[in-house]
Amino acid sequence: MDTGTITYLLQGLLLGLAYLAPIGMQNMYVINTALRMGRLRTYQVAAATTAFDITLALSCFFGVGLLLELVPGLRGIMLLVGCLVVVYFGVQMILSHPSTGMANVEEPLLKIVIACFAVTWLNPQAVLDGTMLLGGMRATLPAEYSMAFIAGVILASCMWFTGLATVTFHFKKALDCRLLRWINILCGAVIILYGLNLGYGFIQLAVHV
């Protein structure tokens, strides 16, 4: 591996970590799952979120924004479906009642995978931001190092969600039931706000059609 490859790999890694660090729907869902469920489900959620995040990053890097431009109605569908699904999962978080003795309470794996897909792909803003960021970066990269760069972004996704799940899962042992409940409410509220924002975007789009 030459110096240039290592350099662009590290650039992709640092950019990927900086892009994922701000608290968003993905992070909220991973944190909430790690607080409520056992080790297996926690890492399944981390793995599923990572997988969907990687597919989104690859799509943005290779031009998913072009698809949204070619099919204008697709964005409206994403906004409406995203609003309904994301708000639903936010309400579910708020209504859940965690306790320090519920570490092994698990949700169906299919429901978890759908939720991970929703908080990643049913967010047009994330798709557009990712397209501008990663698509813009690709335009500035030497062709021979573009794969090293996106490999760094993928590595960042794996490190971030696995680390976030691990830290939260082990830290929750120091939390009491009341604090866990408030964290659930906070996570659910943030998710609902994201969902309502998607709904507002749909309304704006419909009004201007």
Q: Which two tokens stand for residue 102?
A: 């519920």
The model's pTM is 0.75
Please list, in sequence order, all residues whose beta carbon lies within 8 angstroms of the beta carbon of residue 126, skipping any fewer than 6 positions away. 24, 25, 56, 120
Section 13-21 average pLDDT: 83
Which 3 state secondary structure label does DSSP give 142?
A: coil
Per the rule left: phi > 0, alpha: psi between -120 and 50, beta: everything else, 162 is alpha
When divided into structural domains, the chain yields a total of 1
Section 112-117 average pLDDT: 86
Task: Say which residue, 48 or 128, is predicted with more confidence.
Answer: 48
State the maximum Cα–Cα separation within the chain, in Å, rounded to a whole number. 53
Q: pLDDT tens for residues 148-201? A: 999 999 999 999 999 999 998 888 777 666 777 787 788 778 778 877 887 888
Residue 102: pLDDT band with limits 50, 70, 90? very low
**Domain limits for position 100:** 3-207
